[in-house]
Amino acid sequence: MKILMVEDNKSVSEMMSMFFQKDGWDAHYAYDGEEAVAMFKDDPDSWDMITLDLNLPKKDGLQVNTEIRQISKTVPIIILTARDSESDQVLGLEMGADDYIVKPFSPLTLMAKIKALHRRAETPALKTQVTQNEDVDNFDVQTEHFKLNSKTREAFLFDKEIMDLTPKEFDLLKTLAQKPRQVFSREQLLQLVWDYEYYGDERTVDAHIKKLRQKIEKVGPKVIQTVWGVGYKFDDSEVK
């Protein structure tokens, strides 16, 4: 894995470098926001993971996150921040980050999140390696008004494509839609979509649901519904 750690505190970078080296990862470090964007722009497709501090000199971490997302909608981003307010964390997720962790943090916790996120990011890449002989119109999730193709990473509602889905948004939509009307708790979605049970935060799910709904509702009605006190479900059985 080639990882870019954007962190102005060199002691944190030095600490994590030992863990990255132990796992054989190719780690690179940026110590301010401008340097981070420049490094990413230099070869966007080469990066497998980004950890991004919010409190950075020269360019704020949220701005860095936005600029990276304008270049790549798929590179996984984990926010590292000393800011412990819910608004900062949710804002980062809504701006395209995949997860966050609050400082001070355990290196083992960060490593677990990185590995889980990387496993999920690798799966879509394998699925999209289809040959010319494969039937890419074979939708593996279909309901009355919705269909989804895991090989092409495309989803349609009323035959209109739901555009610009990030890998996590696509996986979240697939998880819900392949079992219509079943209610999933936030804990279940963390385990199924983010691939971890003990290192997640329910706000991660809520922020991704919000963004996913916004993209779905550009082409059709609200099909992801909140079941208060329980979680979320996909239901297009009564929409028109």
Domain spans of the chain, in order of start: 2-122, 141-234
Q: For all residues of the chain together, what is the average pLDDT?
A: 84
pLDDT at 112 over 60: yes
The proportion of the chain whose per-residue pLDDT surpasses 90, expressed as a percent, equals 40
Give residue 231's pLDDT band: very low, low, confident or very high (50, 70, 90): very high
Range with the poorest average pLDDT among 77-81, 159-163, 173-177, 201-205: 201-205
Q: Which two tokens stand for residue 105?
A: 């943090």
Element (H, E) at 52: strand 49-53
* DSSP per-residue string spanning 154-201: EEEETTEE--S--HHHHHHHHHHHTSTT--EEHHHHHHHHSS-SSS--
Higher pLDDT, 202 or 31: 31
Q: What is the fold of 141-234? A: Arc Repressor Mutant, subunit A (1.10.10)
pLDDT at 160 over 80: yes
Q: Which two tokens stand for residue 164?
A: 């610009």
Query: What's the whole-number mean pLDDT along residues 56-62?
Result: 90
Neighbours of 83 (CB within 10 A): 18
Q: What is the fold of 2-122? A: Rossmann fold (3.40.50)
